[in-house]
Amino acid sequence: MPTVVIANLKSKSIHCEDKRESLLDILLSRTDWMHACGAKGRCTTCKAKILSGGDNLSDPTKPEQQYAKLNKLRPDERLTCQAIVNGDVTIEVPKETQLPHLNYTK
């Protein structure tokens, strides 16, 4: 059973049953997460910084590759709506997509 840890949200841990869910679906099952385009990979509002376990995510999709070429996604960032979780991963919410009603650390 994979675990997703959000390091700057009081180290919130989310255990997921299905190994083939998107990171966004897993996050939304237990917390609020910024996302604007309906999980279609058409924006970067759902991005997450990958601290560890990046190899436990699916390969970057075409939308992610395009945003990376446009410098809208750094090498350590993924779109949560596009990344499929295959194992444990630790992420951080980037400052620009933090929600005002949640308490972040750092």
Q: Are 2 and 86 in contact (CB under 8 A)?
A: yes
pLDDT at 19: 66
pLDDT in tens, the chain (106 residues): 899 999 999 878 998 886 688 999 999 999 999 999 999 999 999 999 999 999 999 999 999 999 999 999 999 999 999 999 999 999 999 999 999 999 999 7
pLDDT at 94: 96
CA distance 7 to 33: 14
CA distance 84 to 77: 14
Q: What are phi and psi of 66, to 5 degrees?
A: -65, -45
Q: What are phi and psi of 95, to 5 degrees?
A: -55, -40
**CB contact set of 64 (below 8 Å; sequence gap of 6+):** 41, 73, 78, 79, 82, 83
Tokens 């058409």 correspond to: 42
E strand map for 1-106: 3-6, 12-15, 47-52, 77-79, 89-92
